[in-house]
Structure 1
Amino acid sequence: MTLLTKQLINLIRLLHSDTGQNQIAAGLAFGIFLGFAPFISLQTFLVLFITFVFRVQLGAVFISAFFFKFIAYLLDPVADPIGRALLEHEALRPLWTWMYNVPLLPMTRFNNSIVMGSFIISIILCPILFFVFKQLVIKYQVTLVHRLEKTKAWKFFSATRFYIWYKKYNDLYGA
């Protein structure tokens, strides 16, 4: 079974349990860093390291990163002037020079105005998104799960092969 499929199953399991709100919300919020950062960069590896160390839900990170990649593309015209203003600010020039001469820091691509602006937007939005996603997960778990399971669409979905496979997997390997 692939890592992504396993993480999606874990995400579904956590969404339908009464625990894990912080793990899911942090995963969804950390996805903004992966979505806004270049694919292969130091930021990506740092976020993945933090995700593994602090038990953040990996499936939520990947799903969120997928959607934030599209949003990042749309926000490039906003991120560029923010990054350009920071990179061209005279008082910060010694900091940028020092960072460029430190061995691994140029791998962050901080000298690109769009990458810098996207990183600043990510830093600002991540804590806000954590609390928003936490409230959404709590509301989902309290109200929508019970309503969803009573609908005809859920009954149809629960009869599909994917759901039957999921239930069998959950019975065999689930916690």
Structure 2
Amino acid sequence: MLTLLLHPVRQLFGAVLANDSPRQVAWGFTLGMMLGMVPKGNLIAVVLGILLCALRVNKPAGLLAVALFSAISPLCDGLTHKIGDRLLHLPNLQGFYAWLYDQPLGPFIGFHNTVTIGSLMLALYISYPCYYGAKLAFARIAPPLGRWVVRYRLGRALAGAQFAARFGG
């Protein structure tokens, strides 16, 4: 039972203290942000989830971002609906949307839903600031957190032996 409760904390330590570069952590966080922003149950979310699992990015950071942005994204539904409504009513793209919907997997993509396309566009728009911010945050947080893990027995127990050994514990 205690292991089940401490598993998310260990995953958080794993995201920060892993042997990944700041770029890998930032890309994992950014892909997780995009997956968390997009409504689930369509092909876009499936493709983003496959990318998060298949690419060489930090998966705990990505899963943390998915959880964080999945909780935040319903608050942005009004904005994403307006963005998606504007995109779906562009006269130049009406033929493309009709062609896409008529394809075999077209209805499963989710481009006919205003919130889905608006969330995807908003996630693409904020992806670079998210990447840059996560990269800077990881570069600042990882060294002090690594020293804290080595200093305290509770930190070594939470992080696990592999992370404590990396920092000389």
With the shorter chain as reference, the TM-score category is 0.7 to 0.9
* Residue 69 of structure 1: how far off its partner (Å): 1.1
Alignment pair present for 1:145 and 2:129: no
Q: State the identity %.
A: 20
| Distance in 2, Cα, partners of 1:42 & 1:132 | 28
* Residue 10 of structure 1: how far off its partner (Å): 6.0
| Distance in 2, Cα, partners of 1:166 & 1:17 | 10
Alignment pair present for 1:164 and 2:157: yes
Cα RMSD, aligned residues only: 2.9
Q: Which runs of 5+ in 2 are unaligned?
A: none
Residue type matched to 2:137 in 1?
L
| Distance in 1, Cα, partners of 2:147 & 2:119 | 38
Correspondence for 1:72? 73
| Distance in 2, Cα, partners of 1:30 & 1:127 | 11
Q: How many residues align?
A: 160
Correspondence for 1:22? 23
Q: What do residues 97-146 of structure 1 show as CA deviations (whole Å, max 9, x unaligned)? A: 0110111132121111111111100111112211110011001124x326
Q: Which has the higher contact order (CA 8 A, sep 6+)?
A: 2
Q: Residue 146 and residue 61 in structure 1: after superposition, are their counterparts in 2 closer, same or farther (change >3 A)?
A: closer
TM-score, normalised relative to structure 2: 0.79
| Distance in 1, Cα, partners of 2:113 & 2:33 | 18
Q: Which runs of 5+ in 1 are unaligned?
A: none
* Residue 167 of structure 1: how far off its partner (Å): 2.6
TM-score, normalised relative to structure 1: 0.77
Q: What do residues 44-99 of structure 1 show as CA deviations (whole Å, max 9, x unaligned)? A: 22112222332112211111011101221111111111100111111110011011
Correspondence for 1:126? 127
